[in-house]
Amino acid sequence: MEPLIGMGVLALMGAAAAIAGMSEDLESDVGSQSNPNSQVQLAPQMMYPHRIFNKAISGEPPSNALMCAIGGTTAAILMDSMGMSVLFSVAIGALVAALAHGSYSTMSFFGRPASQKRFKQPIYLDVLRSHIVAIMAFAFVTTFSIVIISYLMITALGHPFPLALLAFIWGIAVGAIGSSTGDVHYGAERQFQNTEFGAGLNAAQSGNIVRKGEAGLRNGIDNLWFCSRFGGPATGIAFAMTVFLSGWITLVFDPSISLTIGWLSVIAGLIIVLILIIFNRKLEVSARNTYGPYKSDKEEVAA
C-alpha cells in the first residue's frame, strides 16, 4: 500500500483509540468498576453508606471485550449478510452492545447492595436512572471507536483476523489499560480527597470514601467530572500510544518488502521501548527529588 495512505489510516486509528481509551476510563469511573470499586463495596461495611453506583460486572478487560465483541459481531453481520453501510452497521452494533452493557450494569447495581443488607446500604433508584444513561453512552462511544479501529485494520491495513475477534482483543487491551492507568486517579485520589494530597493512603483509611459532593451527596457523575480532567485523557493517551506505535513500526518498516526490513521494525520497536524506560526513569527521579522522602534515615534506624 501507499505508505502515506497507511500513515493516514494509522493516524485515524490513533485518534479513535484516544477517544476509546478516554471513554472506557470514564465509563468505569461513572459506574465505579474494577479495583477502585472494592472501596465502594467496603464502605458500607465500615459504616459509610453512600450514593455511588456499584458496577461490579467483572474486571474491565472482560466487560469491555464483551461490549466490543457484541459490537463487532453485530456490525459484521449487518455489513456482510445484510449489505448495510459500514457506518450504520458499526453504530447499530455499538447500540446493541450498549444495551447489553446497561443490562449487566443494572444487575450489579441491584445485586451488590442487596447482598449488604446487614450494613444497611439502601438502593437508590434515582442513582440508577441518572447513571445508567451515562454508562451506556460511554459504552457506545468505546464500542464504536474500537470497532472502527478493528475495521480499519482489516480493510485498510490487511490484518488477517476477523472483525469480531479483533474487536474482542482490542477490547481486552483497552480494558487492561483503563484499569491500570485511569482507575488509579479515581481510586487513589478522587475517592480519598479527604486525605492530604501526596500523603499516600494509609490502609486504615480503607472504606472511608468521600460521600459528600460539591452540592449534595456525591455520586458517580461527580466522579466523572473529576476523572475527565486527568485520568480519562491519560488512559486515552496510553491506548492511543499502544495502537499507534505498534502499528507504526510495521508500517514504516514493512516486513512484506524483505526480511531485513522486518527485523528493522523489531529493532525500531525495541528502541521505542527503551525510550519509554528512560522516560519512566527520568519521571521517577524527578518525582523523588521533588517530593522528597517521607521519613529520614535516622527514624528508619530507630524503628
Partner 1 sequence: MAAGGTPKKAGSAIPPKKIMVFGILGSLIGIYAGHFLTIMFGPVFSFLGVLGAICAIVWGADTVRRVCSYGIGTGVPSIGMLAIGMGIVAALFGLEIGGIAGPVVALVIATIIGLIIGLLGNRIMKMGVPIMETATAEIAAAGTLTIVGVSTSMAGSFEIYNIVSHVVANGFIALVFIIGAIAILHPFNSNLGPDEKQDRTLAVAFVDGSIVMIVTGIVVAGVSIASAVPTLVIGLLIWIIAFTKYYSLVKRDAYKVVGTGLLPTEEELS
Partner 2 sequence: MIDFAAIIAENILYLLLIIVGGLLVAIGVHFVPVGGAPAAMAQSTGVGTGTVQLAAGAGLTGLVAAGAVMQVTDNLLLVIASGMVGAMIMISSTMLLGNMIYIYGVGVPPASAKIKYDPITRDRQDLYISQGTEGHGVPTSCFISGVIGGGLGGLGGAMVYFALLSVTNGTSALNVIGLASIFSVAIFFINAVIASYNIGGTTEGFHDPKFKRLPKAVVSSIIVTFISGILSLITIGGL
- Residues 193-252 touching partner 1, rule: CB under 8 A, are 211, 217
Interface segment toward partner 2; rule CB under 8 A; list 101-109, 134-142, 211-219, 238-246: 238-246
* ∠ CA 67-6-270, rounded to 5°: 80
Sign (positive or negative) of CA dihedral 185, 191, 192, 193: positive
Q: Which of positions 264-303 make contact with partner 2 (CB under 8 A)?
A: 265-266, 269-270, 272-273, 276-277, 279-281, 283-284, 287-288, 291, 293-297, 300
At 150, is the secondary structure helix, strand, or coil?
Answer: helix
* ∠ CA 209-211-215, rounded to 5°: 145
The cell numbers describing 161, all together, are 483476523
b or e along 30-46 (b: 16 or more beta carbons within 10 Å of the residue's beta carbon)? bbbbbebbebbbebbee
- Total chain residues near partner 2 (CB under 8 A): 86
Q: Scanning the structure block, which residue is given the C-alpha cell 495502537?
A: 243
Neighbours of 173 (CB within 10 A): 22
At 215, is the secondary structure helix, strand, or coil?
Answer: coil
Determine if 32 is a binding residue for partner 1 (CB under 8 A): no
Interface segment toward partner 1; rule CB under 8 A; list 2-10, 160-168, 260-268, 276-284: 160-168
Q: Which of positions 93-132 make contact with partner 2 (CB under 8 A)?
A: none
Considering only residues 13, 18, 22, 69, which one is a binding residue for partner 1 as defined by CB under 8 A?
Answer: 69
Determine if 81 is a binding residue for partner 2 (CB under 8 A): no
Contact 68, 170 (CB under 8 A): yes
Considering only residues 15, 86, 95, 123, which one is a binding residue for partner 1 as defined by CB under 8 A?
Answer: 123
Interface segment toward partner 1; rule CB under 8 A; list 24-32, 110-118, 191-199, 245-253: 110-118
Q: What is the biggest distance separating any 2 CA atoms in the chain, rounded to whole angstroms?
A: 75
Determine if 225 is a binding residue for partner 2 (CB under 8 A): no
- Note the residues at the interface with partner 1 (CB under 8 A): 34-35, 37-38, 41-42, 45, 47, 49-51, 56-59, 62-63, 65-66, 69-70, 72-74, 76-78, 80-82, 96, 100, 103-104, 107-108, 110-126, 161-169, 211, 217
